[in-house]
């Protein structure tokens, strides 16, 4: 058994000045801290990295502060459609769901796809039917919709634009896509990402979060990655896999690979977003091209740290 574990979670990337202005920074820090504390307990007891990332992602989904599960952003019709994925670095097993509604925890459904289906991704109505088979709780539409999201959506509708949750901060922007990466005591890596997508997105649009290699990736030989930002840019650069490739082919550390990945994202597609990374030694890293990112970590069983950077 390895003697230490690592855990990292994020709550999205973007322009975060509004959070400081509104004084809601403490709320985010407290939320990250409590989830990391509970994640620590799970991993300390010998829980798997896969269980830890699912657990943390579900807790972040339940918190309306973030753009995932309850509190998801709204699409062009003012509806919530969610994407999520989870990956096990041990054997590259993965599960993903896209454009789903009603399911309380999309990440739990992604985990069911991984564990109980022969597929990697299920979408829309088929995914919902599968959720019933897995006995996952569904919620009414209004469970997911919070008032700040409706204001944010109305703003976006006025200009006809789409935007990142945290982008171009108006007073209503204070939430974000979520993700978790972990290394357990046995040295296994896992990653999870979950989102409502981008504000005012086209109906049926699927972002990077549920795409293995784009918004999420984990391989015990390299690292675990969860991404946030403009999904189309992460899809086109296959950024999470790119970061793992930097580790695999160039022997980069987690931090070097996160930095190189974000440089690549900017150079290739002028991309906006961020990543959290844990490598196989348990080192934690972050990189972002947005002015801010919300995240927290426990590196190699050490101190719990949270940052709104």
| Chain positions contacting ligand ASP, by CB under 6 A | 12, 67, 164-165, 176-177, 195, 197-198, 207-209, 215, 228-231
The tokens for 274 are 């961020």
The tokens for 170 are 């108006």
Q: Which helix (H) or strand (E) holds 241?
A: helix 239-250
Q: What are phi and psi of 152, to 5 degrees?
A: -65, -40
Our CB check for ligand ASP shows the closer of 153 and 230 to be 230
- Name, in order, each residue with C-beta under 8 angstroms of 94's C-beta and a sequence gap of 6 or more: 85, 86, 87, 88, 114, 120, 212, 216
Minimum CB–partner distance for residue 290 and ligand ASP (Å): 10
Catalytic residue among 177, 222, 228, 237: 177
Our CB check for ligand ASP shows the closer of 67 and 259 to be 67
Spatial CA neighbour of 286 closest among 2, 9, 6, 17: 9
Minimum CB–partner distance for residue 24 and ligand ASP (Å): 17
Minimum CB–partner distance for residue 257 and ligand ASP (Å): 19
Strand stretches in 19-112, DSSP E? 82-88, 93-100
The tokens for 60 are 């972040």
Alpha helices (H) along 77-116:
106-116
Residue 46 DSSP SS3: coil
Our CB check for ligand ASP shows the closer of 42 and 262 to be 262
Minimum CB–partner distance for residue 4 and ligand ASP (Å): 29
From CA 19, how far away is CA 13, in angstroms rounded? 12
Minimum CB–partner distance for residue 91 and ligand ASP (Å): 26
Our CB check for ligand ASP shows the closer of 5 and 230 to be 230
Our CB check for ligand ASP shows the closer of 39 and 273 to be 273
Q: How far apart are the first and last CA of the chain?
A: 34
Looking only at the bridges linking them, the beta strands covering 121-123 and 82-88 are: unpaired
177 is catalytic: yes
The tokens for 18 are 């509004």
Our CB check for ligand ASP shows the closer of 105 and 209 to be 209
From CA 195, how far away is CA 185, in angstroms rounded? 28
Q: What are phi and psi of 278, to 5 degrees?
A: -125, 130
Angle (CA) 92 13 156, round 5°: 115
Minimum CB–partner distance for residue 14 and ligand ASP (Å): 7
From CA 140, how far away is CA 3, in angstroms rounded? 44
Residue 202's CB is within 10 A of a number of other CB atoms, namely 12
Our CB check for ligand ASP shows the closer of 193 and 222 to be 193
The three state secondary structure string of 63-89 is: CCCCCCCCCCCCCCCCCCCEEEEEEEC
Minimum CB–partner distance for residue 220 and ligand ASP (Å): 25
The catalytic residues are 177
């Amino acid at each position: 058994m390895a003697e230490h574990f690592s855990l990292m979670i994020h709550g999205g990337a973007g322009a975060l000045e509004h959070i400081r202005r509104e004084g809601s920074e403490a709320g985010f820090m407290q939320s990250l801290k409590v989830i990391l504390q509970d994640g620590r307990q799970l991993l300390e007891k010998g829980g798997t990295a896969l269980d830890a990332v699912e657990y943390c992602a579900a807790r972040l989904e339940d918190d309306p502060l973030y753009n995932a599960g309850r509190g998801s952003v709204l699409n062009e019709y003012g509806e919530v459609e969610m994407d999520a994925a989870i990956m096990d670095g041990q054997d590259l097993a993965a599960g993903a769901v896209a454009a789903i509604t009603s399911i309380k925890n999309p990440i739990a459904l992604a985990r069911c796809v991984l564990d109980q289906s022969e597929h990697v991704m299920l979408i829309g109505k088929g995914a919902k039917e599968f959720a019933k088979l897995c006995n996952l709780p569904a919620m009414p539409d209004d469970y997911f919709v919070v008032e700040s999201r409706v204001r944010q959506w109305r703003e976006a509708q006025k200009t006809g634009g789409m935007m990142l949750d945290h982008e171009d901060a108006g007073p209503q922007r204070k939430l974000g896509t979520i993700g978790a990466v972990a290394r357990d005591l046995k040295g296994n890596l896992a990653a999870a990402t979950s989102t409502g997508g981008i504000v005012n997105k086209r109906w049926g649009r699927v972002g990077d979060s549920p795409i293995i290699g784009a918004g999420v990736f984990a391989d015990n030989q390299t690292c675990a990655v969860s991404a946030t930002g403009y999904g189309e840019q992460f899809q086109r650069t296959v950024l999470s896999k790119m970061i793992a490739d930097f580790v695999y082919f160039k022997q980069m550390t987690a931090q070097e690979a996160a930095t190189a990945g974000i440089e690549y994202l900017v150079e290739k597609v002028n991309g906006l977003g961020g990543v959290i990374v844990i490598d196989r030694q348990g080192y934690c890293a972050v990189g972002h091209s947005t002015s801010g990112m919300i995240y927290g970590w426990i590196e190699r069983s050490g101190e719990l740290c949270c940052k709104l950077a």
